[in-house]
């Protein structure tokens, strides 16, 4: 099955010796039935000519932000809306820097900034430029802006040096785009629910019981799901975090509200329960502020377990149910017990006896326990990387 057929790709060619490879990309994409429009930057035009690009792409090359003819035919906003995907190949250190910093002083950077589409960048530069801290920082920024990186590769460079910075081969780039469209096709139909953050169980209108959860891991999981094309609902207790507006965020406070919102958000293909739901709530919450007294007795009652409820009701149960567990001791025993008692498919567990990871940290180290007793250990890394790996496993499972 050809996942590229009838797709529209806007190819941005920047200046660099690797620009000649962009001609081969055009040839391969055309062979697969892709409609291509191209933007050639000023320095790109020093390496490849508009004539060779047009001959291969059978369409006009756009070069100038202020060209009256180009704007009349297709203005720069329409150009970014026309495409299903934007590919920047080769992407120079200069263009990467512009995109990371929101500059828009030429057609390429303006179109990228105005785009609402997935943008792939395939860097190509000298190894020292690639390894420079400023480039590294720019690339990290672009990743958080949802740009997808292809390469660069390690090898001999045109400048005679050796190292990382070589542009990925056209065939490999085209394969990556095929995989992207293939996954998109499958995942567009999939719906995910994530619970995150702590809950608050009110004692009176101004006091509550809660816990240390920051919600960071759950938010990162929601971001990774969105990035992979899931229709994502994030049901979150109070946090200081912000989320992409394409995620359906439902803000809740109490466990009861989280439960009701979860029920309303079902059905889903996958549900990930990462929230640190308070196990207990106050039995008789006071409607007015309680005054200071010598002694106060709070009567607590158990909250309903959302994960347990959803997982054990066949009519509600998503195809894949993932729970979380934070333990200070005897991790494996407790997790296996939770796996079977709560009837979930996987449990993402972390050892919270180590204070540098887990709660409120940007980093985590988790083990994923599966029903069949298999355990995948994800070593110490950022919560965003953990989420990407988890979502990759979810996709493989659902596929």
Name the residues that contact ligand CTP, by CB under 6 A. 195, 255, 273, 275, 277, 279, 303, 305-307, 323-326, 338
- Provide the 8-state DSSP code for 85: E
Cα–Cα nearest to 352, from 279, 240, 276: 276
Of 90 and 358, which CB lies nearer to ligand CTP in the complex structure? 358
Q: Cα separation of 231 and 126, whole Å?
A: 39
Q: Cα separation of 252 and 235, whole Å?
A: 7
Q: Cα separation of 25 and 35, whole Å?
A: 12
Q: Cα separation of 16 and 152, whole Å?
A: 14
DSSP E strand stretches across 24-132: 35-40, 61-62, 85-91, 118-123
Q: Which two tokens stand for residue 84?
A: 């299903």
Q: Cα separation of 176 and 182, whole Å?
A: 10
- Provide the 8-state DSSP code for 292: P
C-alpha torsion angle, residues 225, 76, 172, 139 (rounded to 10): -60
Q: What Å distances lie between residue 170 and 23, 28, 216, 376, CA to CA?
A: 9, 8, 37, 34
Q: Cα separation of 127 and 348, whole Å?
A: 38
For the question of residue 159 being annotated catalytic, the response is: yes
Q: Cα separation of 135 and 231, whole Å?
A: 32
> How near is the Cβ of 355 to ligand CTP at its closest, in Å?
17
Of 119 and 277, which CB lies nearer to ligand CTP in the complex structure? 277
> Is 39 in contact with 108 (CB distance < 8 Å)?
yes
Of 270 and 325, which CB lies nearer to ligand CTP in the complex structure? 325
Of 153 and 257, which CB lies nearer to ligand CTP in the complex structure? 257
Of 82 and 309, which CB lies nearer to ligand CTP in the complex structure? 309
Cα–Cα nearest to 305, from 329, 337, 338: 338
**Region at 340 (left for phi over 0; alpha for psi -120 to 50; beta for the rest):** alpha
Residues whose CB falls within 8 Å of the CB of residue 305, separated by 6 or more in sequence, listed in order: 277, 342
**Region at 358 (left for phi over 0; alpha for psi -120 to 50; beta for the rest):** left
Of 26 and 235, which CB lies nearer to ligand CTP in the complex structure? 235
Of 19 and 320, which CB lies nearer to ligand CTP in the complex structure? 320
Catalytic residue list: 159
């Amino acid at each position: 099955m050809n996942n590229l057929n009838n797709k529209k790709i806007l190819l941005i060619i920047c200046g660099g010796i690797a620009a000649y490879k962009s001609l081969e990309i055009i040839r391969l994409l055309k062979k697969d039935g892709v409609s291509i429009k191209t933007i050639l930057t000023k320095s790109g035009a020093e390496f490849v000519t508009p004539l060779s690009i047009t001959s291969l792409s059978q369409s006009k090359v756009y070069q100038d932000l202020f060209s009256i003819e180009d704007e009349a035919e297709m203005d720069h906003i329409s150009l970014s809306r026309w495409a299903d995907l934007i590919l920047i190949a080769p992407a120079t250190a200069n263009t990467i820097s512009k995109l990371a910093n929101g500059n828009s002083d030429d057609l390429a950077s303006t179109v990228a900034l105005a785009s609402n589409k997935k943008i792939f960048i395939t860097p190509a530069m000298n190894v020292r430029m690639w390894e420079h801290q400023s480039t590294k920082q720019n690339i990290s920024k672009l990743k958080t802006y949802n740009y997808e990186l292809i390469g660069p590769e390690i090898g001999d460079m045109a400048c005679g040096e050796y190292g990382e910075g070589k542009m990925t081969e056209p065939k490999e780039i085209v394969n990556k785009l095929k995989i992207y469209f293939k996954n998109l096709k499958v995942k567009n139909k999939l719906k995910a629910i994530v619970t995150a953050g702590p809950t608050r169980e009110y004692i009176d209108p101004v006091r509550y019981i809660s816990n240390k959860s920051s919600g960071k891991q759950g938010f990162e999981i929601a971001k990774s799901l969105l990035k992979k094309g899931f229709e994502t609902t994030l049901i979150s207790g109070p946090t200081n975090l912000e989320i992409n507006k394409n995620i359906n965020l439902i803000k809740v406070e109490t466990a009861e509200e989280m439960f009701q919102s979860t029920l309303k958000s079902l059905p889903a293909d996958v549900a990930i329960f990462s929230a640190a739901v308070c196990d207990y709530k106050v039995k008789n919450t006071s409607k007015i502020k309680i005054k200071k007294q010598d002694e106060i007795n709070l009567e607590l009652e158990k909250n309903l377990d959302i994960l347990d409820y959803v997982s054990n009701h066949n009519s509600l149960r998503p195809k894949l149910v993932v729970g979380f567990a934070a333990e200070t001791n005897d991790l494996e025993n407790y997790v296996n017990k939770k796996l079977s008692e709560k009837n979930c498919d996987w449990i993402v567990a972390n050892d919270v006896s180590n204070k540098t990871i887990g709660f409120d940290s940007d980093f985590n180290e988790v083990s994923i326990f599966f029903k069949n007793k298999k355990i995948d250990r994800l070593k110490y890394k950022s919560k965003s990387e953990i989420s990407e790996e988890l979502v990759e496993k979810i996709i493989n499972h659902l596929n």
